[in-house]
Structure 1
Amino acid sequence: MALRATFCAVLLTELLSGFQAYQDIFVLGENVKIREDMSVNSTAVRLRDFLNANVSSAEDGNGTFWSVNITSGDDSGRFGVRVEDLTVVVAAPLDYTSRSRYNLAVELTKTGNKNVLYLNLVIMVLDVPGYPPFYNDRCETPVLPGREGGGNYTVFSSDVDGPLEVSVNAGRVGSYSDVVQHWRNYAKYLPNNFVLRGDCSLRIVVTANTFSDSDTSLLFVALQGPQQGRLELNCHDREGKNKGKITFLDLYLARNDDIPQWAQSGQFYIDGRYVTAIELDEIRSTLPYSMRCSANVTLVAGGGNLVFTFQYSVTGCPEGLYGMYCDKDCVCKNGARCHGFNGACECRLGWGGRVCDIPWFEPEVVIVKMPGDTGVEYIGTNLTLTCLPEHIHVAYITWTHRSENRHNDTILIEEGAVQNSSISLQPILESANGRYSCMVQAEDGKLFNATFILNATQCRPNYHGEVCSQVCDCQYGGTCDRWEGCLCPPGRRGDRCEHPCGHGTFGWNCSKKCNCKNNAPCDPVSGSCICAKHHWGELCQYSYLLVCPPGLHGDECKHTCSPGSFGLQCNRDCYCENNAPCDPVNGSCICAEGQSGEICQNVPTPDKSQVVVVVLASVIPTIAITGCIVTGILVKRGRRRARTPERPTEDLNEMASVSPCEVAKEDIRFENMIGQGEFGHVVRGRLRVPAGYEVFVAAKSIRPDRMTASAVRDFCREMTILTRIHEDKEGHPNVVKLYGVVTKSEPQYILVEYASNEELRRYLWSLREQCKTTGNTKLLERLGFSCDVASGLSELARLKIVHRDIAARNVVISDRKVAKIADFGLSRDVYVSSAYERTSQGGEEELLPLKWMAVESLRDGVYTCESDVWSYGVLLWEIASFGEEPRYAGGPMHPDVCTLLELLKKGVRLQQPENCPTSVYKIIRSCWTVDPTKRPTPDELFRKIDLMRPQSHAAHLANDNSR
C-alpha cells in the first residue's frame, strides 16, 4: 500500500501539550495518498499518530477512552473507523474514476473529560493501471443457468473428444479431453495466474515441478536438447492468422531472460521448474476456437514438427462466480453483471464504482437487451430491446432503425407517450442488423437518446444454415461452420464427420487429393503415401521388380516350380526323359527306379551278377560317407572334452532376464504375415510406445507346429542377445532395434523394428534388374550397405556376441536405406570362453549355413567373432554379385560338410563376381584366410570399404592436406 501522511509535527506537539486546557482543538492534516485497489478493511490512516506516541489503543494510560466518528466528506461510505486501534479503514471498494479526493472530517472525543479533537484529513485516491478490471463485452462470457457454485466448472470447455492433441511429424503422441481441467494437477497458483486484459487478450502462466504423463513428459524431454530449456510455439487459427504463442521453459536450463517479460511483471507467481506461458490474442465467446501452435524442434530421434491442436468454447460460470475454474466470488452489486473472466462489473443505469454501489443521479437513457447473458447476438435467436429513461419525466419515446446496408435510410419503428418502450426481434435475421436508436423527449422539452448496434452474423454454437436452424452435432473434433455445417478434422468426412476419408483423399474435411502412384493409399491426416510392399518413393512411384529365387515363382514367391520347369522365376524347361521330374533349383533330373543317366533314360533290367555290382556300387560310397561322418563326430567329441570348459546347461527360462523389456500384448495391433521360416513366422504390427504414438514392428514367434526344444532355445537366446545389445536403450544404428518382448502370454513374441525394404538379398535382386535396364550398378549404395554391416559387426564383437549366420538374408534395409543386422536365431553369446563348439540338442540336428561358415566352424564346430568375419566375406560376395547364391567351382550347388571342407583345404574360394572391382574382391578374399588371427577385424573392414566411397576419399584427402 502506497501510504504517505505528513503532518505539522511542531504544531501538533504544542497543541497536544496544552490539550487539557482546551475544550475543542482543530487540527489540519496534509494529504494522505492511498491506492485505489486497497482491499476492504485495510488501514488508510493511523489516528494515534495525532495523539501520543505512547498511546497505542483507544484506552490511554488513565483508563479513559477515545470515541471516533467521520462526520462529513464521505457520502458514499467509502471509509470507516476501527476504534480499538484508532484507525481509518477502507469500508467499500474505491474507484479513481468515480471519485479521486475525499475531505474527511474526523471527530475524536475523550470519554473522561469530554474533550474533543477535530481532524481534517484529505485522502487522495491514486489511479492504478489495470484497476478496476475493464468490462469488455466483446469477450463477455455467458452465465450457466440453473447451476450453483461448488461444482467442477471451467470458464473454457469443449464438447469434442480430445480438444488438445499433441503430434510430432503428423503422428499423434498424446491428447487431453479437457486440458484446463488437466492443469489443476500442476497449477498451484493458476487461478491468480489467469489474467484477461482490457483488449480481451489472455495471459496464463502454469508452473510445476514434475510432469508424470508420458505424452507431456515427452514435450519437456525436448527441452533438454538444442532448445536449451526454451521452446516457443507460434499459434494460428484455421485461416492462418496469428493468434498468439506458447512458451515452454525448463528453468534449470533456460536463462532468466528467456521468461517472457510480461510474465516477470510481478503479477504472476513462478515457483516451479517447468513453466508454460500462454499468450492468446483477443478472445471472443462466439464460435468454438480451433487453433494450431507449432514449432520445429530437435527431439531424441531427430528433427520434428511439434504441433499442438486445441479446440474450446467459452462456456462461462454459474451466477456469482468467475475465473478460470469459476472459483472466485463476484463482488458486483445492485444487479450488475459480472464478467466471467476477470470479475469486472457492468453497472446498471444509475450506478457506478468498482462494484456498482455508487449511485449516479444525472438524467440518462439506456437500452437494455434481453436476454443479456452473452456479449454477442446470434442469428436465429430472440432479442428484446427496452428503452429505459432514468430520472426523466417522459413526454414521448421514438424508436428508429438504420440498416447497416442503407446508410442514409432511417426507418421509424414505433413512437408513443410511454415511460418506457420495447421492441422485439423474434427471431434475429441478418436483415435486422444495424443501428437502433431510442430518442426520449422530457416534459421540459429536453431530448435524450441512446443507441444499440446489432451485428448478428454468426449462428449460436452447434447450429448452421441460412437462418441458423440446423443442428451440427459434429463428431471426432469437427467444428460447426455457419454455411458449411461440420468442418471435419484431418482424416474425417461426412455430415457429422462420422466417416473416415475415402481412398485418395486426406486433410481437413477430406478436401485434398492424394498424388500417390500405383493406387497407393495416403495417410488421411498428413497425406503422405503409404507404399505397398513392392513400391517405394515419396509418391510410391517406383516399383521393386520382385525376382524370386530359383525354384519359386508368383507375386509373393510362394509357389514352387511346376513339373518340367526350374530356375529363376521357373523360366527354364527340364529335359528329363520318361516323365522324370527335375530339381526346381538346379534342373538336375530326379530318376525313378529303373531309370538312370543324366536325363533318366531307360536301362535294361540287370541280371543277378549285375545286381551284385550295382548293390556294391551303391553301398561302397554310402559306407565311405558314413565313415567320414563317424570319424568327424569322434574327433569333435574328443576336442570338446579337451577344449570346452564346463558350463551349466542353458535354462529355457532365460526369458526372465529380459523382463525389463516386457510390453503388454494389449499395446500391439497385429496386421498381416510378412514372413515364415523353418521354425517361426513374422507378423507386421503396430506397437504403442510409452511416448504415446504407434510404430511399425515385426513380431517374431515360434510356429506352433515346430515348438521343438532347439527352436525354443534359439528363440530365448535371440531374445536375450537383443536385450543385451539394447542395454543402453538405444542399441546400435546397424543392428535391428528391439522394441520389447511378450513372454507373459501365448504365443510369445520378440518385437523388432519393421524394415519396409525387407531383407538385403531381395533388395540386391531388385538392383540387379534395375542394372539390366539402366546399366547403373549402384556401387556406392552397395558399398554403403557393406559399411553398415561392418559397423554392426564391430558392435557385436565389442559385446563378445557371435552371430553365426552373417548373410544377406539376415540383413534388413530400413526405409532410410540403412542396413541392419537381424535374425539372431543362431547367435551365441560369449561369456567366458571366446568360442563354442557345435552341439546336438536333444538328438535334433541343427541346420547350418555351410557355405557361409569358416573352416574352423565346419571342421571343429568352433564359432568366434573371427568366424563371423569369414561369413561377412561371403556376404560381401553376395553384395558384389547382386545377391547370387554362392557356388564353389568344382563342387555341387549344395555340398555336404566333407565335400566343402575338401574344397576349402585345396584353396578353392568363391570366384570374383562379374563387374566386381578388384579392390573389393581383395577385401573379400582377406576374410577367407585359414588362420583366424590373420583375418581383418570389423573396424578394419569398415575403414577399407569406407575409403572406396568418393565422399569419404575426399574427406581423407582434405585431412591429409590440412596436415
Structure 2
Amino acid sequence: MSGNLQGLLVVALWSVLVQLLCCARAQEFSVSVPENVAVGETVFSLPRTRAGEKAELPCAKMEGDPYGRFNVTKNCTIVVANPLDRSVQSAYLLTIRSGVHNTRVKVELSDVEGYPPVYNETCETPVNWNGETGDFLYSVTSAVEGVTTEGDIVFAKKILNSVTGLFRPTDWKTNIWMFHTHNSDCNIRIAIKTDNIEDLTLLQDLWHNGIHQLTCTAAYLPKIVSDLFNLKYGGKASLKQLRKYVPESVVNAKHFNFIMLASGTIPTREAMSYKCEIPQFRTPIRIYYENQNTRKISLANVEYLDIQIKPVGCPVGKYGLLCHKTCICKNGARCHGFNGACKCPPGWKSVACDISKQDVSVTTTPNDPRDIYISANITFHCKAHHIEVRSMSITFQNVTTKVTFGVNETDFEVSNIQPTNSGPYTCQVRDTRGNTLNTTFVLNVTNCAPDTKGARCDEVCGCLQGASCDRWAGCVCPPGWIGIRCHTKCPHGKYGKDCERNCTCQNGASCSPSDGTCDCTDGWYGKDCSKPCTNGRFGWRCQQVCTCMNNATCSNVDGSCACVTPWTGQNCDKWQTSRDEPLALLEILVSLGSLVLLVAIVIAILYQMGILACSPPDTGEEDKILFELRRMEQDLAQSLQPGWLGRWEKKIKHLTPGPLIGEGMFGLVRKGKLRTPEGELAVAAKAVRVEDSQSYRDFYREAAILVAVHQQRDDDYRESNIVRLWGSSPSLPKSTFFWNMPPKVTSWVSYDE
C-alpha cells in the first residue's frame, strides 16, 4: 500500500511540475508598425489588459531592445519611447516578464516612403535666432498692379513673414491651411480652404474667368504651380488628384466650395524672384483692396504679379513652413528647418541622432572654408567617439606627423599654410581590441586672405557694395554694379549681373539696376510703363482724377486740359467772349474747294452791288461803291454772333505744315496735317504773304465772310462745297515761332486728297 501511495505521490508531483512548466512557457506575439510611429504611441498590449484590466503582476521589459526604443508600462503595454529608424534596426524581439510569465513580442518596422527625411543641403535654411512659432520659414514679398473697372491703377506690395499676415483665415491651426514640407526633395505643398465670404468671392470670380491654374516661374528654377479645385463642379478627375494631398474629410466637406493647392520646389538658399502668368479677365474680379482704407474694388485686369521668396529660417529647435513643429534632433545635431531632418555629429546615428556608434572625426579651426586661406593658421582636431583608444595618429602625404596613446582626442597645427600644405589629412585610431578606424579631411588651400588677390595674394581688391573678392577675377560684383571695385552702377537701360540685360522700361521710367523693375513716371503704368492712364486719370500710378470739362482732353501726365473751342480756362469751364484783337491772326479750316467758292461769293456780291463792272465807274459811282461796301461790312458784322473769334480758336501747335500748293496776291497756301479730337485731318493752310495793314484787312474780311457763311448753315455741309469749318487760332507777332518762320496770319481749310 505504501508503494501505491508513493506512486500516486510521484504522479501528482509530476502533474504539478508539468503545469508549472506549461505556465512558464513564454507566449509569443507579432506586430507590425510603421517606422514613423510617434513617440508615446502604443505598439502592443497583452490580450488580458486590452479592455483596461490591470495585470495580475507588474510587467518589466527584459531584453531585445538595445537602443532603448520602447517602454513597457506596469499594465503590460508597449509604447514607443524614442524615434524609430528602420535603417538602424528593422525588427525587435522583446521579452517581457510578468511574475513567472514571459511574453515575447516581435515588433517589425514597415517602410514608410520619405521617412526618415534626408538632410538636403540644397534647401537648407539659416537659423532665425529671433524667430517665434508662427513665423514663416521664408519671407514672401508680393507686388501686384491692376486696373479697376473705373480706370484706377491699384498697386499693392505685401511682405508675409508670419502667420498673422496670411489671407484672412480665422485660425490656421484648424486645418484651414495645410502645409507640407516633410520630404527630402525641397518641395512645398500648401492646401488652402476657407469659408470667408470675401475669399470665396475672389475664388469664385477666378473660376468663372477660367483661371484654374496659376504658374510662377523664375530664371533657372523650377516652377511654382497653384491649382484651384471646385469641390462642386470640378469633376471627378480633378478631385481624384486633390485626394492625393488633401484628407478625404476636407474634400468631402459640404461647407467648402474651393480648395487651392500650391506646390513648388525651392532648390536654393538665396532669394528667388518669380513672375506669375496672369491671363486676361473675361469679367471683373471682385476683391478687397487694403491701402489706407480697405475698400471693395472690381479688377478689370492684372498687369503683373511678382513674388520674391527669401529664406529666413526657424528658431532653434523648430522646423516647418510655419516653424511650428518641434525638432527631435539630439546630441548637438543640426535640425533642417525645411523638413526636420537631423544632421548627426560624429559618433551618433538614427533619425534623431540619439544612438551612439563608434566613430572617428577630423575637424578644423577655423571650420568655415572661407576662413581657410593662404598664410592663415589651421588646427586639425582628431577625435575618437565611443571607442576605447589604444593609439591615435595623424598622417599627411603618407608621413605620420603625430602619434598619441590612451587619449580620445589630439590636435595638430599648421602655421602659415600654403598651397603645398593642401592634401588629405588622415586620423587613424586603434582600439584596445586591435580594431582600426580612420577618417580623412582634404585640405584645399587656394584662396587669398580677405580683400586680396593675385598669384602671390599681394594685391588689394577694395571691393564695394558687399562684393566678394576672387583671387583671380578680383571683385565679383552683385547685380546692378560693374567696375574694378564694383563702384559703378549699370548704365541707363542696363541691369542685372555684369549689366548684361536690357531694360524694357518706357516713357522715361527708371530701371532698377539689380532686377530691372520699372519705376514709372507720372501718367504711366504697367510692367514696362507703356500704358497711359485712362478714364480721366493722371499722375503717379494714375491716382489723381482729371478736372477737365466740356469734352476737353486731359493730359495723363499732369492733368492739364486741352480745351475745345469755345471753352477756355484751367478746367475748360469758361466760355470765351473775347472780341477781335488788333492785327489778330485768323486760322480757318475749310475744304480746298471752298477757296474757289469764297472767291466766287465775293465776286458775286461785289458784282451785284455794282462794284465790279465791265466799264470803269465815274466819280459819283465810286462814292456809291464805297458806301455799299461799308454797308456790306456792317451786315457781315451783324451776321457774326458775338465772340465768334474766340469760339473758333485753335492752337497753332496742332498744325503740322507741309509743302506749298498755291499762292495768290496776298496769301500763300500750304498742305498740312491738323490734330483734332476726331483725329488727324489733311488741310490747306493759308498764310498772309505780305505783312501790312491792307493785307491783314483783306485776309480778315475773307475769313469773316467764310465764318458767316458757315454759321448761317448751322454746321450743315451736305449742300455745300465747304467740307467743314474747324475754327480759328490767333497767333500774335510776339508769339513763338512754330515752323522756324516769322509768325504769319494763317487760314486752314480742309484738304481733300
TM range (shorter): 0.5 to 0.7
Pairwise CA distance, 1:447? 3.5
Residue 117 of structure 1 is matched in structure 2 by 101
1:155 and 2:137 equivalent? Answer: yes
Question: What residue identity is the alignment partner of 1:249?
Answer: L
Residue of structure 1 equivalent to 2:225: 246
2:720 to 905, 909, 914: 909
CA distance in 2, matches of 1:179, 1:771: 70
Deviation at residue 881 of structure 1 after TM alignment: 5.7
| 1:440 alignment counterpart | 429
Aligned to 1:344: 341
The answer to whether 1:57 aligns with 2:62 is: no
Asked if the contact 2:146–2:300 (Cα under 8 Å) also holds between the matched residues in 1, the reply is no
More helix as a share of residues:
1
Report the CA distance shift for 1:173/1:76 in structure 2 as closer, same or farther (over 3 A): same
Instruction: Name the structure 2 match of 1:42.
Output: 41
SS of the aligned residue for 2:310 comes to strand
1:76 aligned partner: 67
Counting only pairs closer than 5 Å after superposition, residues 891-910 of structure 1 correspond to structure 2 as 892-895=705-708, 899-900=712-713, 908-910=719-721
Distance in 1 (CA, whole Å) between partners of 2:395 and 2:177 is 44
Q: Which residue of 2 aligns with 1:849?
A: none
- 1:310 maps to a residue whose letter is Q
The alignment status of 1:422 with 2:411, answered yes or no, reads yes
Q: Which residue of 2 aligns with 1:126?
A: 110
Matching of residues 473-622 of structure 1 within 5 Å: 484-488=475-479, 502-505=491-494, 510-512=499-501, 524=511, 581=583, 583-585=585-587, 621=634
1:422-821 paired onto structure 2 within 5 Å: 422-423=411-412, 435-441=424-430, 446-453=435-442, 484-488=475-479, 502-505=491-494, 510-512=499-501, 524=511, 581=583, 583-585=585-587, 621=634, 625=638, 769=658, 809-811=676-678
- Equivalent position SS for 2:440: strand
Q: CA deviation at 1:397?
A: 0.9
> Equivalences for 1:350-369 in 2 at 5 Å?
350-360=347-357, 363-368=358-363
Corresponding residue SS for 1:333: coil
The answer to whether the Cα contact below 8 Å between 2:588 and 2:703 also exists between their aligned partners in 1 is: no
1:33 aligns with 2:32: yes
Separation in 1 of the partners of 2:280 and 2:501?
29
How far apart are the structure 1 equivalents of 2:218 and 2:637? 83
Task: Label 1:89 to 1:440 Cα distance change in 2 as closer, same or farther (>3 A).
Answer: closer
| Distance of 1:515 and 1:771 partners within structure 2 | 41
CA distance in 2, matches of 1:121, 1:329: 31
Relative distance call for 1:898 and 1:232 in structure 2 (3 A) is closer
Instruction: Give the direction of change, closer, same or farther, for the CA distance of 1:29–1:151 in structure 2 (3 Å limit).
Output: closer
Cα distance in 1, alignment partners of residues 105 and 300 from structure 2: 70
1 CA distance for matches of 2:431 and 2:139?
48
User: 8 Å contact 2:462–2:485 — kept in the other structure?
Assistant: no
Query: How far is the alpha carbon of 1:100 from its aligned partner?
Result: 1.9
Cα gap change, 1:457 to 1:523, in 2 (>3 Å): farther
Distance 2:181 2:122 in 1: 16
The SS at the match of 2:62 is strand
CA distance 1:190–1:614, change in 2 (3 Å)? same
2:348 partner amino acid: W
Q: 1:290 maps to what in 2? A: 272
Q: Quick one: distance in 2 between partners of 1:267 and 1:73?
A: 37
* Residue of structure 1 equivalent to 2:213: 230
The alignment partner of 2:706 has SS state of coil
Work out the CA distance in 1 between the residues paired with 2:45 and 2:280: 61
Following the alignment from structure 1 to structure 2, what is the Cα–Cα distance between the partners of residues 58 and 487?
A: 70
Name the CA distance, whole Å, in 2 between partners of 1:469 and 1:154: 38
In 2, the alpha carbon distance for the partners of 1:370 and 1:166 equals 48
Report how far residue 450 of structure 1 moved. Answer: 0.7
The equivalences for 1:168-179 within 5 A come to: 173-178=155-160
Cα displacement (A) at 1:445: 5.9
Residue 104 in structure 1 maps to residue 94 in structure 2: yes
The one-letter code matched in structure 1 to 2:587 is V
Which ranges in structure 1 are unaligned for 5 or more consecutive residues? 1-17, 60-64, 110-115, 401-409, 541-557, 559-579, 589-597, 599-609, 631-676, 679-758, 773-806, 814-877, 914-963
SS class of match (1:487) = coil
Task: Give the whole-Å Cα distance in 2 for the aligned partners of 1:226 and 1:429.
Answer: 65
Structure 2 residue 194 is matched with structure 1 residue 209: yes
Answer whether contact 1:203 1:280 (CA < 8 A) is retained.
Answer: yes
Correspondences of 1:286-435 after superposition (within 5 Å)? 288-295=270-277, 297-299=279-281, 306=304, 308-313=306-311, 315-360=312-357, 363-368=358-363, 377-378=369-370, 385-390=380-385, 391-400=387-396, 410=397, 414-417=401-404, 419=407, 420-423=409-412, 435=424
Write the deviation string for residues 49-76 of structure 1: whole angstroms up to 9, x where unpaired.
257x8x64117xxxxx442222232233
Equivalent residues of 1:74, 1:102 under 8 A apart: yes
Give the alignment's TM-score, normalised by structure 1: 0.45
Tell me how far 1:472 sits from its aligned partner: 6.0
Structure 2 residues not aligned, in runs of 5+:
1-15, 148-152, 283-298, 531-561, 563-581, 590-597, 599-610, 612-622, 662-673, 688-699, 725-753
CA offset at residue 770 of structure 1? 10
**Distance (Å, rounded) in 1 between the aligned partners of 2:167 and 2:424:** 44
Deviation, structure 1 residue 289: 3.1
What TM-score comes out, normalization by structure 2 length?
Answer: 0.55
Q: Distance in 2 between matches of 1:481 and 1:165?
A: 33
Deviation at 1:393, TM superposition (A): 2.0
| Aligned AA (1:326) | C
Tell me which of 169, 175, 195 is aligned to 2:181: 195
Question: What's the offset of the Cα at 1:378?
Answer: 3.4
Contact 2:190-2:263 at 8 Å conserved across structures: yes
8 A Cα contact 2:176 2:193, kept in partner: no
Q: Is the 8 A contact 1:102 1:124 kept in 2?
A: yes
The verdict on how the C-alpha distance between 1:309 and 1:509 changes in structure 2, with shifts beyond 3 A counting, is: farther
* C-alpha distance in 1 between matches for 2:404 and 2:115: 42
Q: Structure 2 CA distance, aligned partners of 1:289 and 1:458?
A: 26
Q: Secondary structure at the match of 1:318?
A: coil
Q: CA deviation at 1:339?
A: 2.3
Secondary structure at the aligned position of 1:34 is classed as strand
Secondary structure in structure 1 of the residue aligned to 2:676 = helix
The CA deviation at 1:26 is 2.5
The superposition leaves residues 402-421 of structure 1 with CA deviations (integer Å, 9 ceiling, x where unpaired) of: xxxxxxxx486942325323
CA contact (8 A) 1:380 1:427 kept: no
Cα distance change on mapping 1:98 and 1:221 into 2, 3 Å:
same
Equivalent AA in structure 2 for residue 73 of structure 1: G
* Partner SS state of residue 93, structure 1: coil
Counterpart CA distance in 2 for 1:220 and 1:469 is: 58
Q: Please state whether the residue corresponding to 1:378 is helix, strand or coil.
A: helix
Number of matched pairs:
546
Q: Could you say if the C-alpha distance between residues 168 and 292 of structure 1 is closer, same or farther in structure 2, counting changes exceeding 3 Å?
A: farther
Structure 1 residue 351 displacement after superposition: 3.1
Contact 1:507–1:524 under 8 Å retained in 2? no
Contact 1:337 1:347 in 2 (8 A): yes
**Identical-residue share of aligned pairs (%):** 20
CA distance in 1, matches of 2:444, 2:366: 16
Amino acid at match of 1:416: V
Specify whether residues 154 and 616 from structure 1 end up closer, same or farther in structure 2 by C-alpha distance, changes over 3 A only: closer
Question: Structure 2 vs 1, CA of residues 105 and 583 (structure 1 numbering), >3 Å: closer, same or farther?
Answer: closer
Separation in structure 2 between the aligned mates of residue 291 and residue 457 of structure 1, nearest angstrom? 33
Q: Distance in 1 between matches of 2:415 and 2:394?
A: 20
**Deviation per CA, 1:493-539, whole angstroms, max 9, x where unpaired?**
8999999865454566654568999xx85763679999999xxxx9x
- Candidates 116, 119, 126, aligned match of 1:135: 119
Deviation at 1:619, TM superposition (A): 12
Residue by residue over 1:76-101, the C-alpha shift from the partner in whole angstroms, topping out at 9 and shown as x without a partner, is 332223345x5222222222122222
